[in-house]
Amino acid sequence: MAFTTTQRHGRRLISSGSSFEAAYSYSRAVVVGSHIMLSGTTGYDYAAETLAGAAAEQTRQLFRNAELAFAQVGATLANVVRVRMFIARPEDYEAVMAVFTEAFRGVDPACTTVQAGLFDPEIRVEMDMDALLDVAA
């Protein structure tokens, strides 16, 4: 991914270069003060232009995508304070949560998990996150 950062209306806008962001006029993340808001992120591998079939691997790639976006502003997953998770298939819950636990052990963000139909039937998990630059990472 080719990230870019722009300033507009008192916000720092982070783009991953995804065609979705350009087509639908949104940013991968928006930073206001110390608050980072990460848009809904999936396990699509933008470099390889692939989407893994298994929920666990999609979740791992989702976290790699999130880490790349957070790195643009000097943050990591350790700065995350809130996660909203959307799982398409209830049978994937345990696999997704196992990867979530690996990523957030010791961070323990607030988390909401819902089963939801996602826009692409191949996507099994999507998350958006809020992070704070001024929390101890």
For residues 125 and 96, what is the distance between their CA atoms, to the nearest angstrom?
A: 8
**pLDDT higher than 70, residue 131:** yes
Residue 2: predicted pLDDT = 80
- pLDDT tens track for 12-51: 999 888 888 888 889 899 999 999 999 999 999 988 989 9
Cα–Cα nearest to 61, from 125, 137, 131, 128: 125
**Third-level CATH fold of 4-132:** 60s Ribosomal Protein L30; Chain: A; (3.30.1330)
Q: How confident is the model at residue 137 (pLDDT cuts 50, 70, 90)?
A: low
For residues 12 and 128, what is the distance between their CA atoms, to the nearest angstrom?
A: 17
Region of poorest pLDDT, from 21-25, 59-63, 72-76, 113-117: 21-25
Residue 20: predicted pLDDT = 81
User: Which of the pair, 27 or 87, is modelled with greater confidence?
Assistant: 87
Domain extents in the chain = 4-132
Can you tell me which residue has the tokens 């696999």?
95
For residues 27 and 39, what is the distance between their CA atoms, to the nearest angstrom?
A: 7
Residue 5: predicted pLDDT = 85
- pLDDT tens track for 89-117: 999 999 999 999 999 999 999 999 999 99
